[in-house]
């Protein structure tokens, strides 16, 4: 039996529009301490659920100072959730946390509805959004990597995720067989992605112009900015939802003229970052994210209207640090400037005086950004020709 048919997309939500979901957030414990941060995280979970196609949602937000290692929540909170499920007929519970397999299993047995955590939801969205072979391979690798160490604990849960493991009532020998199939499939995917990475490397060798990578928090407007910068008639798909882009796409961008000759650069769109992004997902998307590693400069696109702008910039900073690209030149583009109050803009302008302000949809600020890129291009060309 092939592991891809055994496991692939086992975490995905099928017929999402049929779900009546209850979203659960919590604060007060040592790990989920800050109330404001957790409220924003719950709001983000709502947006993630919307991206997954879940139409009917309500939420609960608890102070939970003590988390139970077996069921995550205390008995009192579990009773409140249980009463809500019965009263409003919820058939999906989404908890804003990284749950252990035993916690998922125990909660499902108690509530008799499907239970998933933040990581499972993000993996689900990536599975839905994978539109190319490379993206599909990377998502499958992330899913398999996530499932493998949890295989035994998730046995009962997986049976309710659409068949495969669990429906057969696997014993130890079956679990070992499944592990072997998964490991084999993981190695095969890694080999295929390595070939993709080699192809990207060869393509980069043929470039002799400055390259820029667009990075930022998910839904900051990176793809729309690429479309505004590029004169290509073939526009990249952009949508006002989280993780609209999973693939790495490059576009040629006209910057200006040097001695009456046109100057161009390559701008590459990349997958957005998000707080608590699963490590398996980051590792799986290595061949896409490595475009950032080999670029000449980085354009950080930020939603200037976001109430959590500082935290989102910090998330991007940390992810870039993990990729070891701290030393690369950076340009900060504050997107959605028309949604920012005057006082907030003045405050941010003082804090980030070098930032370019604009709107990737209306193209406001795009000319100023192009000028900034052109300035870098001329410096790049001068150093390259030394």
| Angle at CA of residue 95, ends 94 and 98, nearest 5° | 120
The encoded tokens of residue 143 equal 């899913």
Give the model's pLDDT for residue 81.
95
Length of the chain (residues):
386
In the chain, which ranges are E strands?
20-27, 56-63, 92-95, 114-117, 211-216, 249-258, 261-269, 297-303, 330-335, 356-357
pTM: 0.76
pLDDT in tens, 206-239: 666 788 999 999 889 898 999 899 876 566 555 5
DSSP letter at 209 equals: S
**10 close to 161: Cβ distance less than 8 angstroms:** yes
CA distance 353 to 300: 14
pLDDT at 7 over 50: no
Give the model's pLDDT for residue 246.
59
Q: Regarding beta strands 92-95 and 114-117, do their DSSP bridges make them parallel or antiparallel, or are they unpaired?
A: parallel
Give the model's pLDDT for residue 10.
40
pLDDT in tens, 275-289: 877 677 777 677 667
Give the model's pLDDT for residue 96.
93
Beta bridge partners of 27: 63
How far CA 287 is from CA of 196, 317, 320, 323, in Å, comes to: 7, 20, 15, 12
| Angle at CA of residue 69, ends 87 and 319, nearest 5° | 95
pLDDT at 13 over 70: no
DSSP letter at 68 equals: B
Give the model's pLDDT for residue 171.
42
pLDDT in tens, 84-115: 999 999 999 999 998 888 888 899 999 999 89
pLDDT at 202 over 60: yes
Residue in the structure block whose two tokens are 């519970």: 93
Give the model's pLDDT for residue 16.
58
**263 close to 256: Cβ distance less than 8 angstroms:** yes
pLDDT in tens, 314-348: 999 988 988 889 889 999 999 999 999 999 999 99
Give the model's pLDDT for residue 144.
85
Q: Which of 278, 280, 217, 283 is nearest to 244 (CA)?
A: 217
CA atoms within 13 A on the CB side of 69: 0
Residues whose CB is less than 8 angstroms from the CB of residue 315 and which lie 6 or more positions away in sequence, other chains included: 217, 273, 274, 275
Q: What does 111-171 look like in DSSP terms, one character per residue?
A: HSSEEEEHHHHHHHHHHHH--SHHHHHHHHHHHHHHHGGGTTTTHHHHTTTTSSTTTT---
Give the model's pLDDT for residue 80.
95
Q: Is the model more confident about 365 or about 148? A: 365
Give the model's pLDDT for residue 148.
80
Domains in the chain, start-ordered, CATH in brackets? 10-130 (3.40.50.11060), 207-384 (3.40.50.300)
Beta bridge partners of 268: 213, 250
The encoded tokens of residue 121 equal 């939801």
CA distance 299 to 127: 27
Torsion of CA 281, 283, 287, 293, to 10 degrees: 110
Q: Which of 94-108, 165-179, 254-268 has the highest mean pLDDT?
A: 94-108
CA distance 79 to 295: 53
| Angle at CA of residue 173, ends 171 and 176, nearest 5° | 110
pLDDT, average across residues 174-192:
83
Give the model's pLDDT for residue 61.
93
pLDDT at 192 over 50: yes
Q: Is residue 369 very low, low, confident or very high in pLDDT (cuts 50, 70, 90)?
A: very high
CA distance 372 to 299: 10
Give the model's pLDDT for residue 182.
86
Give the model's pLDDT for residue 165.
25
Lowest mean pLDDT among 115-119, 193-197, 242-246, 312-316: 242-246
The encoded tokens of residue 127 equal 């599975």
pLDDT in tens, 120-161: 888 888 887 777 788 788 888 888 888 887 775 555 444 444
Mean pLDDT over all residues of the chain? 81
Give the model's pLDDT for residue 15.
53
């Amino acid at each position: 039996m092939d592991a891809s048919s055994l496991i692939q997309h086992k975490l995905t939500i099928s017929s999402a529009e049929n779900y009546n979901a209850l979203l659960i957030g919590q604060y007060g414990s040592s790990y989920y301490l800050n109330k404001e941060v957790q409220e924003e995280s719950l709001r983000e979970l709502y947006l993630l659920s919307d991206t997954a196609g879940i139409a009917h949602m309500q939420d609960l937000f608890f102070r939970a100072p003590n988390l139970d290692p077996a069921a995550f929540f205390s008995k009192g909170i579990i009773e409140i959730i249980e009463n809500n499920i019965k009263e409003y007929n919820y058939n999906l519970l989404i908890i804003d946390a990284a749950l252990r397999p035993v916690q998922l299993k125990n909660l499902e047995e108690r509530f008799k509805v499907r239970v998933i955590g933040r990581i499972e939801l993000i993996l689900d969205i990536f599975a839905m959004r994978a539109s190319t072979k490379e993206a599909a391979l990377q998502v499958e690798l992330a899913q398999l990597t996530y499932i493998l160490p949890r295989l035994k604990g998730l046995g009962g849960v997986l049976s309710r995720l659409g068949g495969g493991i669990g429906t057969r009532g696997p014993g130890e020998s079956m679990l070992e067989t499944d592990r072997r199939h998964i490991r084999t499939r993981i190695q095969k995917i890694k080999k295929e992605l390595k070939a993709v990475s080699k192809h990207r490397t060869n393509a980069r060798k043929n470039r002799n112009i400055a390259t820029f990578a667009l990075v930022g928090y998910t839904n900051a407007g990176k793809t729309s900015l690429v479309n505004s910068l590029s004169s290509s008639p073939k526009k990249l798909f952009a949508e006002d939802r989280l993780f609209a882009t999973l693939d790495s796409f490059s576009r040629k961008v006209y910057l200006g003229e040097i001695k009456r000759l046109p100057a161009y650069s390559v701008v590459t769109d990349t997958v957005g970052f998000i707080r608590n992004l699963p490590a398996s997902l980051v590792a799986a998307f290595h061949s896409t994210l490595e475009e950032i590693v080999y670029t000449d400069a980085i354009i950080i696109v930020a939603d200037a209207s976001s109430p959590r702008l500082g935290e989102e910039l910090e998330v991007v900073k940390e992810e870039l640090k993990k990729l070891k690209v701290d030393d690369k030149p950076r340009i900060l583009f504050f997107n959605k400037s028309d949604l920012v109050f005057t006082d907030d803009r003045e405050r941010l302008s003082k804090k980030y005086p070098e930032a370019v302000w604009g709107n990737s949809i209306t193209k406001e600020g795009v000319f100023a950004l192009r000028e900034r890129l052109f300035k870098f291009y001329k410096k790049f060309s001068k150093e390259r020709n030394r």
